Structure 1
Amino acid sequence: MVINNVVINTVHRLVTDLRRDPAGLAQRAGIKLRLARLRLTNRLSRRSVTGSGTVVVNLTSFGHRINLVHYALETIAAGRIRPRRLILWLDDDAALAHPPATLRRLQRRGLEIRSCPDFGPHKKQFPYASSAPTLPLVAADDDVLYPRTWLAELLEAAARHPLEITGQRAHTITFDGDRVAPYSRWVAARGTAASFRTLCTGVSGIYYPLELLAALRAEGEAFLRVAPRADDLWVYSVAVRHGIRARQVGDRQAEYPAIPGSQRGTLYRQNVTEGGNDAQFAACVGERERERMLRDDRHDLGALPGVPLGQVASSNGA
């Protein structure tokens, strides 16, 4: 009788969900099926997670998400093109000493798990940029299920414009007169043109050329003071200062499903709904960077003269 009641209640919930949101139910079912396949792959596959792609893919993770990051890693490893190296950066001593079984299996297939200081979300870029890299970087998020074409699309777009930042998802920064508008009023990027007003967001993946990595290395760790929770804003400000524009891969933002249970909203809430992005952006971007954004001249190349961004922000009271 108890089993029958459980079955009846389960069927009732499914029917109710189907009536309320049939598309959402189908999407959730598809994600669950995909997760099951990824778990099976993680247990059984011996296929290398690396390949011939001429980039290094970096991720970072923390807390309970370390137990879920294998899903994102497996989707990258299943891509049509696989990266030359796949690195997971951690500052968790316990996880570094005793990684979950899911990550140990990925290590046997070529995943690198590397230690770094607690740079927050900047772990995706700064440790690698500081290592005198010889390959460009693609930064990915630990809570996303990427499609098979994800890296191939990024690399195909980057091959056409190898000196620019290329992202699957970007915002266009808007202005009130000659002042930058609040973050909440920036708009989704439309089109693929390069611009000093295009800011790529890491959730869907970003390609960083070697020139940008060198600029990040030169700017150092000032991000810890001015933008500790906003790596995308810091990288953008460094790019503008050094004359590196950004573009979106497609005409519209690419959106990929989140891994259930990853609680993606924590950083979003701090940065967006609580105004953290506006404060950190103001701390990152100096007057000369803002003027370059406003002009948005494709012939405006090269690094701006002067002190590093972090020192500019500090002198502005950040």
Structure 2
Amino acid sequence: MWIDYAARQALSSVGAFVRAPRLKFAANASSLSFPQEGDTVVSLTTHGDRMSASVASIASLLMGTELLPVFLWLDRVDFESEWPEGLRGLVDRGLQVRCSDGAFGPHTKYFGTFAQFAGTDTRVITVDDDMMYPRWFAQKLLNASDADPGLIVAYRAHEITFRGDQLDLYRRWKAVYTTAPSHRHFATGVSGVAYPPSMVEYVARQGTGFIGHAPKADDVWLNACALRSNHMVRQVFPHPREFSIVPGSQRTALVRGNLGGGGNDVQIAATYTHEDVARLLRAD
């Protein structure tokens, strides 16, 4: 899985080096702006040196065919620091920056937004701060979500596999090649995921329960919550989609650590209970 991911990203790297500077320029020069309210919002986080990379990522959403409110959550140390010029330009174009209530690591991507919008019938799309999304990103994701409003919809998912009656190693899970929903489909946040209001509310009620189980793996916690709250996952397309990485980001090293280094397996084992695994075994 790791080798395939790295190879696909290498193929798209040339286009990424061309697109990234244009997006950073658009952050300051565009006449477009993000809406401030809506029944669907986008949520992400960034930190430290990654704040500069996030400019291209957020600007790619500004260039989209469907503009949505975007919330960027920062830990206090970053919120009170000097922001990159491009990020300030995006604030002028409607980006809403919020200070996190705590240091939640990757969970900061969704935690504050889920808490804010729980119970308001708001759908939340999560994205990563080092990916450049295509112009049709939000539009096609919303179309798929509207077709199945009770499901979690992702551009990229894995099929959870087993060794006997136990979960197999994460790196052996299979790519999903269908739009059919399943509890065995594991949404990966890197390419973007849309969560229905009922999932937003359920996760918000769990508070910071992830800290003792999957503190560095938001995908693991969110997919476990999906299973326990009876939300199935489906892909937008019959095949997974992966978008370009912002050049200079640390995505490759992070994927190697969580995947090749076994970081996901440790947190999966700490999160999924015997009851969770039994339910997955019974699922189609």
Q: Residue 248 of structure 2 aligns to which amino acid in structure 1? A: G
SS of 2:227's equivalent in the other structure is helix
Q: Could you list the per-position Cα deviations for residues 264-314 of structure 1 after superposition, in whole angstroms to 9, with x for gaps in the alignment?
A: 1333233211111111111111122112111115xxxxxxxxxxxxxxxxx
Q: Residue 165 of structure 2 aligns to which amino acid in structure 1? A: D
Match of 1:209 in 2: 196
Match of 1:247 in 2: 234
How far the C-alpha of 1:206 sits from its partner, in A, is: 0.2
Does structure 1 residue 286 correspond to structure 2 residue 270? no
Deviates more, 1:267-276 or 1:133-142: 267-276
SS of 1:31's equivalent in the other structure is helix
Match of 1:93 in 2: 77
Counterpart-to-counterpart distance in 1, 2:236 and 2:11: 28
1:7-156, aligned counterparts within 5 Å? 27-50=12-35, 54-83=39-68, 85-116=69-100, 117-133=102-118, 134-156=121-143
Match of 1:264 in 2: 251
Counterpart-to-counterpart distance in 2, 1:66 and 1:54: 27
Aligned residues: 274
SS of 2:245's equivalent in the other structure is coil
Counterpart-to-counterpart distance in 2, 1:218 and 1:62: 26
Counterpart-to-counterpart distance in 2, 1:50 and 1:73: 14
Match of 2:181 in 1: 194
* Higher RCO structure, 1 or 2 (CA under 8 Å, sep 6+): 2
SS of 1:114's equivalent in the other structure is strand
Match of 1:230 in 2: 217
SS of 1:192's equivalent in the other structure is coil
Match of 1:274 in 2: 261
Contact residue 120 and residue 228 of structure 1 kept, 8 A = yes
Q: Residue 31 of structure 1 aligns to which amino acid in structure 2? A: A
Q: Residue 76 of structure 1 aligns to which amino acid in structure 2? A: L
Counterpart-to-counterpart distance in 2, 1:267 and 1:118: 18
Contact residue 70 and residue 102 of structure 1 kept, 8 A = yes
Q: Could you list the per-position Cα deviations for residues 131-170 of structure 1 after superposition, in whole angstroms to 9, with x for gaps in the alignment?
A: 2434110000011110001111110000011111000000
Distance change (3 Å), C-alpha of 1:154 and 1:27: closer
How many percent identity over aligned positions? 36
How far the C-alpha of 1:51 sits from its partner, in A, is: 7.7
Counterpart-to-counterpart distance in 2, 1:293 and 1:125: 25
Q: Residue 174 of structure 1 aligns to which amino acid in structure 2? A: T
How far the C-alpha of 1:189 sits from its partner, in A, is: 0.7
Contact residue 12 and residue 244 of structure 2 kept, 8 A = no
| Structure 1 gap ranges (5+) | 1-22, 298-318
Match of 1:160 in 2: 147
How far the C-alpha of 1:191 sits from its partner, in A, is: 0.5
Match of 1:173 in 2: 160
Contact residue 52 and residue 81 of structure 1 kept, 8 A = no
Report the TM-score, using the length of structure 1 for normalisation: 0.81
Contact residue 90 and residue 96 of structure 1 kept, 8 A = no
Contact residue 155 and residue 236 of structure 2 kept, 8 A = yes
Q: Could you list the per-position Cα deviations for residues 213-242 of structure 1 after superposition, in whole angstroms to 9, with x for gaps in the alignment?
A: 111112221211110111001000011011
Contact residue 73 and residue 98 of structure 2 kept, 8 A = yes
SS of 2:145's equivalent in the other structure is helix
Match of 1:19 in 2: none
Counterpart-to-counterpart distance in 1, 2:173 and 2:49: 32
Match of 2:3 in 1: none
Q: Could you list the per-position Cα deviations for residues 188-220 of structure 1 after superposition, in whole angstroms to 9, with x for gaps in the alignment?
A: 111011101000100000001111111111222
SS of 1:147's equivalent in the other structure is coil
Counterpart-to-counterpart distance in 2, 1:268 and 1:55: 29
Counterpart-to-counterpart distance in 2, 1:27 and 1:174: 29
Q: Residue 41 of structure 1 aligns to which amino acid in structure 2? A: A
Distance change (3 Å), C-alpha of 1:278 and 1:27: closer
Q: Report which of the two structures shows the higher radius of gyration computed on alpha carbons.
A: 1
Report the TM-score, using the length of structure 2 for normalisation: 0.91
Contact residue 51 and residue 81 of structure 1 kept, 8 A = no
Q: Residue 185 of structure 2 aligns to which amino acid in structure 1? A: T
Distance change (3 Å), C-alpha of 1:230 and 1:45: same
